Amino acid sequence: MTMLKSLKPRRLAAALALAPLAATLLAVTTPAAWAQAPTLTVTPVMEKLRGPWDLAFAPGGAMLYTEKCHGLWVRLPDGSTRHLWGTEGAALAAPDIFCQGQSGVHGVAVDPAFAQGQRFVYVFTASNLQTDPRINRVVRLQVAADWKTVGQRTDIVPDIAFKDARRVGGPGAHSGGRIRFGPDGYLWITTGDNHDPGLPQDPKRLGGKVLRVDRDGKAAPGNGAPAGFDARIYTYGHRNVQGIAFRPAGQPNAGQAYTSEHGPNHSDELTALVAGGNAGWDPQNRPDLKCSDGYCGYSGNPFTMPMTDTQRFPKAMLPAWNNEQRSQGMGPLAFLEGAQWKGWNGKLAVALMRDQRLDIVTLDGPGKAASVETADLPKLRLRSIVPGPDGALWGSTDDGQILKISPK
């Protein structure tokens, strides 16, 4: 708990940005830019947790965190913790939650009006309140001022697809589950394709989508969903979105949402979202591919089974960055803001879970990746990264830690 690891940024890595079907080499960051990067210190804050998944900070410094199989917790500024919602022992029991495969209690978000008395916290979870099939849902919880009781649960989005059937792989795969309030005041929800070949392009079902709703779960205005689509859908044609963040004020296209998702065995993608846009993932009906249960997602390569299929969908949203042709598990992401980040101020931090590293992406004016560098950190499988009120980047790891990465 007391060990500190002070590290200097190592030599910057080249990266690849995706053309529709082929990668082009990004510019290698110059030594001058490298010298402007901050020195990083990693400080463990909590250890031996049981599958920590996501983090969110409330006004006043309380940190909310989820455990995949156990529910929602809060760590107060004095370091004490309380189990707010979930399994036995929580302030408010949730006997319907469960974890299986990749799914369970995932994202957490704090209401933007929390400090004004709207003491609502939002959680994405797998639930067996409905069976055959089971379902993912987003719940809204009202927490007391002393953080000792949870007085109300409202299921605001009760119908997000969950993988029960054994198609490719096992139950619980590809649920997505990251939730964040955008600068527009609306709640953004990422979902996955469940290994269901038709789900990403399905206009009515909510898997393989990014949703945008108000605090009651109703469709936000301006979602731009095509005619015949569920109005809560902001973008569709996704594989399994693991991260979402919003371009900071003062930058071109401020407030635009960026998502990250890892490909099947190639083509991790960082994408700037456009209202009503199609991300181009369609893992069905592929000629010359042998597709188990009709799901072709693992059967091809970047050309025969592309993440962004511009042949089927010429107007698909092109990725801002494609992480080479080998999937490295692109996961959570967060924009870095503040002078403490020096040359990284305003850049986008992206965690690569499989490769256990953190990349820093520089976006150009239109929003494409202009360069990528790798932070000099120990190997960390970061499941979540969020900016903290102290100016550090906080993260949870699959090793059961919550830690902070501080610049200096």
**397: Cβ contacts below 8 Å, ≥ 6 apart:** 52, 380, 381, 382, 383, 403
Domains of the chain (ranges, CATH numbers): 5-407 (2.120.10.30)
Q: Half-sphere exposure of residue 298, counting CA atoms within 13 Å on the CB side?
A: 8
**Residue 180, strand partner residues:** 188
Q: What is the pLDDT of residue 132?
A: 87
363-382 confidence digits (pLDDT tens): 999 999 999 999 999 999 99
According to DSSP, the β-strands at 179-181 and 209-213 are unpaired
Percent of residues, the chain, with pLDDT higher than 90: 87
Rounded Cα distance between 111 and 368, Å, is: 30
221's CB contacts (< 8 A; 6+ apart) are none
The pLDDT tens digits of the residues spanning 211-226 come to: 999 999 999 999 999 9
Q: Assign 19 a pLDDT band (cuts: 50, 70, 90).
A: very low
Q: What percent of the chain has pLDDT over 70?
A: 91
Nearest to residue 201, comparing CAs of 235, 224, 172?
Answer: 235
Q: What is the DSSP letter of 344?
A: G
Q: What is the pLDDT of residue 168?
A: 87
pLDDT in tens, 334-345: 999 999 999 999
**Residues 150, 91 contacting (CB under 8 angstroms):** yes
Q: Are strands 402-407 and 393-397 parallel, antiparallel or unpaired?
A: antiparallel
What is the C-alpha separation between 38 and 407, in angstroms, rounded? Answer: 5
Confidence at 35, pLDDT banded by 50, 70, 90: low
Among residues 402, 404, 349, 339, which one has the least CA distance to residue 374?
349
> Above 60 in pLDDT, residue 26?
no
pTM of the model: 0.92
DSSP secondary structure letter of residue 240: B
Q: What is the pLDDT of residues 343-354, one digit of tens each?
A: 999 999 999 999
Q: What is the mean pLDDT of residues 182-203?
A: 98
Distance separating alpha carbons of residues 203 and 192, to the nearest angstrom: 14
